[in-house]
Chains A and B, each alone.
Chain A
Amino acid sequence: MKNFDLVVAGVGGQGIILASRVVSNAAIAAGMEVRTSEVLGMAQREGPVTSHVRMGRNIQGALIPSGQADALLGFELSETVRNLYLLKPGGTVVTSTTTIVPTTVVLGLSSYNREELMAHLRQTVSNLVTVNAERLAREASNVKALNSVLLGTLAAIDKLPIPAAALRETLLSIVPARLHEVNERAFDLGYRSIGVS
C-alpha cells in the first residue's frame, strides 16, 4: 500500500485538530504508522491552522512537502486555496464553502473575494468536492459538528486508505458520549452530501 498524505486546513476554532486526530487514530487502528503535525498559531482562535497527516510505512518527517499531498480537506474557502500548494497535481480537494472574514478585511487592510476563490478552485483542481458543511452541521443541530460533516464527505470520496465505517467509528470513540448522536448525524449528512451541495 502506498503512503497517504492528507492536509487539513482552516481557521482556529473550527475543529480542525480534532478531525486530524480522528484520521490519525483511524490510521493507527488500520495498522498504519502515522506522523502528524500542525502549523499552529497560538492560544487564540481566528488564526490559520494547517494540520499535516501522513499515514503508511517508513514515514520520514511530519511535514508534507509542497506538491505531495494526496488530498486536502478544507474547512474554510480562503484557507483551502492558501494550502493548495501542498496538493499534488491530480490530488483531491474536499472543501467546505464556509467563509470566515478576518478583521483585516473588515478594516479594509486586505480583501476577500469569494467568487474569485471558487473560480480558482474550479479551474485548478480536477478532483474537487465542495460541500456546504456549515448548513449540514446546522441540520445536524450543532454548527460545531462542521468537522464531522467534512469527515463524512472525505470518507465518501473513498480516497483515504481507511474504510468509511472505521473513520466513523474512530470519530465516535473520540467525541464525548453526549455528542455521539449529533456527530453521527453530521458525519452521515456529510457522507451523503456528495453531488448535492
Chain B
Amino acid sequence: MPVRLLMGNQAIAYGAVEAGVQVAAGYPGTPSSEIMATLSKLAPRHNFHAEWSVNEKVALEVAAGAAFAGARAICTMKQVGLNVAADPLMTLAYLGVRGGLVLLVADDPGPHSSQNEQDTRYFAKFAKLPVLDPATPAEAREMTRYAFELSEKLELPVILRPTTRTCHAYQDIRISDEYNPRPVSGFKRDRRWICLPTVARQRHPILNRQQEQARALLEQSPFNEERKGGKATRTGIIACGVAVGYVHESLALAGLAEDVDVLKLGTPYPLPAEPVLSFIRRMDRVLVVEELEPVVEEQVITLAWKHGLSVSISGKHDYVVPREGELDVDRVLVSVGAFSGIETKAVAATTDNKLPALPVRPPVMCAGCPHRASYYAFKKAAEGLDVVFAGDIGCYTLGVAPPLKAVDTSLCMGASVTVANGLHWAEPERRQVAFLGDSTFFHTGIAGLINAVYNKANITVVVLDNHTTAMTGHQPHPGTGQTVVGEPAQAIDIAALARACGVEFVRVVDPLVPTKAIREAREAMEFPGPSVVVMSKPCVAKNKRGFRYEVASPELCNGCRICVDELGCPAILPGPEAPVISLNCAGCALCVRICPSGAIRRVS
C-alpha cells in the first residue's frame, strides 16, 4: 500500500470503495464535490455506478432506492444541499435501509463558499440519524468504512459530516486499491418501504428505539478517545471534529498540555454516554469545543443534569467558544485562555507594525467569462427601463460587483426565477429579469419557470448557459451530453424545454456578439408574457481560445475608458496612454466589439 498525499474528499472516496460501494449519487457543492469526482474515476475500473444527479433530492432518492435493494450506496452534497433533500431524508429515517447508505454532507463553517453556515449535526438529530464528525482526512476515510457497517447494523442511513478543513485538507495516507463488494441481496417486497400513515405509526417507535441502539454502538466505536494531560487534573476539554487538533495545539501554545485532559468525540449524535460520563465524572470543570452549533454541548449538559453531576460546563452558551464562523488555533487559544483564567498572549506575529493599505482582491469572473457579456447586454438593454435583476447561485453571482452591479437578489439555487415571480406579483408594472446558470436551471430553476407560465407571471428568464457547472469545479450536468464518468449522454436542450413549458418567446443568443445580444435582451424584456433567453457560450476556464487581444497603438485609442470602466475585465488595466490588455486575456473579443474607435486587435 503506497503512501499518498490525499485530500480528505479523496480519502472519503477511497474509503467508500474499500467498503464496496455499489451506487454513488450526488450533486456538486463546495466543499464536497471532489468525492464524486474521485469516485467517478474509480467507478469504471471497479464497475460500480456513479452519477451526478439533477439535484440533491434526486441524488438521495437514487441512493435510497439502491439501498432498499440491498446495495451499498453513498450520496454526496454540501450542507445546503441537504435542505433540498430534506423531504426524502425525514421519511427515509422511518423506512430505513437494507444496504448501507452513507449520506455525506460537507459543512462549511466560515462560511467560505456557501450562502449560510448551517450545522448538519442538528439535521441528523432532527432526522434521528447517527452522524460522524471526522477530525482529519485519515479519520474521514476510516469513518466512511465504519459508516457503511453501522448503517447496515442499524438499518438506518448514517450521516458523515466533514467540514471544509477535512474535505480540502491533504494528508499522507496509505491507501489500498481493494474493491470487494458483496452481492446485492435484491429488492424484497415489504410494507416497510411504503410510507403510509399506518407504517409511520409502526416505524416511529422503532426509530426512537434505534437511537439507544445507535448510542450503544457508537460508545464502542474507535472514534471517541481520551487523552490524559499527564498531571492529575479535574479540568477537561471535550473536543469534536477538526476542533480536536486546534485544542491540542492551543493547549501546547498556552503551556497547558499537561494540565488538561482532552476527550475527543467523533460521534456527536447520538452522544456516546459512556465515555462522556466517565470523563465528566472526574472533572470539576469541562469546556466543550466544537465548530458551529452547540450540538454536543447541549447533550453533555443534559447528560450531566440527568446524572445529577455538579460539573460546570462551559462552551457556547456562556460565550467562551464562538458560535459563528470557522474555528482555528487563534480563536480556540482565546477560548482555552478564558476557560483556564490565564492570559494567552496573542501570538507575536511579524505584523505588529502597522500594515500599509492592501488592495481589496475579491474573486471576480475570469477574463473572457461569457457571463460578463450576458450581463453587459442586459444592462445596456435595460437602460431607461425600470427592471429588477433577480440573481442566483453560480459564478455569475460575482456579477454583483462593480462595474456590472447586475445582481439585485440571491437567495438559494433556483430562487432567481421564483423570487422574480413574487417580485412580479408585488409590482406587476415593473419588469423582472431572472439570471441563472444551466446547472441551476436543471437543479431547481425549471420548476419556477413552469410556475411563471402557469400563473402568468410575465418575467424574463435568462439562462447563462456555459455548458458546465463552473462554480463548483466544472462538473457535467444534464445539458452537457456527458455523464460523470465521461460517457456520452443525451444532451437535454434548455430552449426546447422552455418551449415545452409553454414559453412563447425563447431565443438562443451568443452573448459575445453584443449588438445582437442587446437587441434580443430588449425584445425579451418587452415581450408581453414570460420570456426566456438562453445565453449560450462555453466557460472560458475550460475552453481556452488560442489567441488574445491588445490595443493596436495608443494613437487609435480615444481615451474613453469604456473597456476599463464598463466591463470590469481583470485583463484590462488602465495604462499611461491607452489601456493595457494583459496576458490573461482569453480572447473573448467583447472589448473589441464595444470599442468605439476600433483600437483593439488580435494577437496570436
A197 to B248, CA, bound (A): 42
Q: Is B217 an interface residue (CB 8 A)?
A: no
Q: Please, which residues of chain B bring their CB within 8 A of the CB of A81?
A: 355-356, 358
Nearest CB of chain A from residue B463's CB, rounded to whole Å: 19
Q: Please, which residues of chain B bring their CB within 8 A of the CB of A101?
A: 359, 573
CB contact between A116 and one of B113, B357, B402 (< 8 Å): that residue: B357
Q: Please, which residues of chain A bring their CB within 8 A of the CB of B248?
A: 60
A44 to B361, CA, bound (A): 12
Across the two chains, which residue of chain A brings its CB closest to B136? A35
Pair A110/B472 contact, Cβ less than 8 Å: no
Q: How many inter-chain contacts with C-beta < 8 Å in the A-B complex?
A: 185
Pair A47/B363 contact, Cβ less than 8 Å: yes
Pair A66/B349 contact, Cβ less than 8 Å: yes
Q: Please, which residues of chain B bring their CB within 8 A of the CB of A103?
A: 364, 401, 568-570
A24 to B165, CA, bound (A): 17
Q: Is B120 an interface residue (CB 8 A)?
A: no
Chain B 215-242 against A: per-residue CB contact (8 Å), 1 yes, 0 no? Answer: 0000000000000000000000000001
Pair B361/A46 contact, Cβ less than 8 Å: yes
Q: Is A163 an interface residue (CB 8 A)?
A: no
Chain B 308-344 against A: per-residue CB contact (8 Å), 1 yes, 0 no? Answer: 0000000000000000000011100100000000000
Pair A124/B353 contact, Cβ less than 8 Å: yes
Pair B249/A65 contact, Cβ less than 8 Å: yes
Stretch at the interface among A85-93, A148-156, A183-191: A85-93
A81 to B569, CA, bound (A): 25
Pair A105/B168 contact, Cβ less than 8 Å: no
A68 to B330, CA, bound (A): 11
Contact-size category for B: 35 or more
The interface residues of chain B, by DSSP majority, are classed as: loop
Q: Please, which residues of chain A bring their CB within 8 A of the CB of B541?
A: 43-45
Pair B362/A44 contact, Cβ less than 8 Å: no
A84 to B172, CA, bound (A): 27
Across the two chains, which residue of chain A brings its CB closest to B167? A37
**Minimum-distance CB pairs A-B, first 5:** A61-B245, A47-B363, A62-B169, A65-B329, A67-B349
Q: Is B347 an interface residue (CB 8 A)?
A: yes
A74 to B572, CA, bound (A): 24
Nearest CB of chain B from residue A146's CB, rounded to whole Å: 12
Give the one of A28, A43, A48, A86 with max B CB within 10 A: A43
Q: Please, which residues of chain A bring their CB within 8 A of the CB of B249?
A: 60-61, 65
Interface residues of A in 53-101 (CB under 8 A from B): 60-63, 65-68, 78-79, 81-82, 84-89, 91, 101
Pair A65/B330 contact, Cβ less than 8 Å: yes
A155 to B395, CA, bound (A): 37
Pair B583/A143 contact, Cβ less than 8 Å: yes
A40 to B471, CA, bound (A): 12
Q: How many residues of A contact B (CB 8 A)?
A: 62
A125 to B350, CA, bound (A): 7
Q: Is B147 an interface residue (CB 8 A)?
A: no
Chain B 564-595 against A: per-residue CB contact (8 Å), 1 yes, 0 no? Answer: 11001110111000000001100000000000
Q: Is A11 an interface residue (CB 8 A)?
A: yes
Nearest CB of chain A from residue B246's CB, rounded to whole Å: 6
Give the one of B330, B349, B351, B361 with max A CB within 10 A: B361
Q: Please, which residues of chain B bring their CB within 8 A of the CB of A48?
A: 361
CB contact between B328 and one of A24, A43, A63, A67 (< 8 Å): that residue: A63
The interface residues of chain A, by DSSP majority, are classed as: mixed
Q: Please, which residues of chain A bring their CB within 8 A of the CB of B348?
A: 67, 88-89
Q: Please, which residues of chain B bring their CB within 8 A of the CB of A113?
A: 356-357
Pair B353/A120 contact, Cβ less than 8 Å: yes
Known contacts: A21-B5, A43-B472, A102-B570. The answer to whether A85 contacts B349 by CB under 8 A is yes
Nearest CB of chain B from residue A25's CB, rounded to whole Å: 6
Q: Please, which residues of chain B bring their CB within 8 A of the CB of A86?
A: 349
Pair A44/B395 contact, Cβ less than 8 Å: yes
Q: Is B3 an interface residue (CB 8 A)?
A: yes
Pair A44/B366 contact, Cβ less than 8 Å: yes
Q: Is A173 an interface residue (CB 8 A)?
A: no
Q: Is B398 an interface residue (CB 8 A)?
A: yes
Nearest CB of chain B from residue A17's CB, rounded to whole Å: 10
Give the one of B113, B172, B333, B366 with max A CB within 10 A: B172
Q: Is B474 an interface residue (CB 8 A)?
A: yes
Pair B355/A120 contact, Cβ less than 8 Å: yes
Interface residues of B in 151-175 (CB under 8 A from A): 165, 168-172
Pair A84/B3 contact, Cβ less than 8 Å: no
Can you list 14 A-B pairs with a CB-CB distance of less than 8 A?
A28-B172, A42-B471, A43-B474, A43-B541, A46-B361, A61-B245, A61-B246, A67-B348, A78-B359, A84-B350, A103-B364, A104-B361, A109-B360, A110-B359
Pair A78/B333 contact, Cβ less than 8 Å: no
Nearest CB of chain A from residue B121's CB, rounded to whole Å: 20
Q: Please, which residues of chain B bring their CB within 8 A of the CB of A116?
A: 356-357
Nearest CB of chain B from residue A70's CB, rounded to whole Å: 12
Nearest CB of chain A from residue B407's CB, rounded to whole Å: 15
Q: Is B432 an interface residue (CB 8 A)?
A: no
A128 to B427, CA, bound (A): 60
CB contact between A65 and one of B242, B253, B355, B564 (< 8 Å): that residue: B253
Q: Is B470 an interface residue (CB 8 A)?
A: yes
Pair A42/B349 contact, Cβ less than 8 Å: no
CB contact between B5 and one of A24, A60, A88, A120 (< 8 Å): that residue: A24
Q: Please, which residues of chain A bring their CB within 8 A of the CB of B584?
A: 13, 45
CB contact between B242 and one of A61, A67, A109 (< 8 Å): that residue: A61
Pair B355/A43 contact, Cβ less than 8 Å: no
19 further A-B pairs in the complex, CB-CB below 8 A; given A61-B165, A61-B329, A66-B346: A28-B172, A33-B171, A41-B363, A45-B366, A60-B252, A61-B249, A62-B171, A63-B329, A66-B347, A81-B356, A84-B349, A84-B351, A88-B348, A106-B572, A113-B357, A116-B357, A117-B356, A117-B358, A143-B583
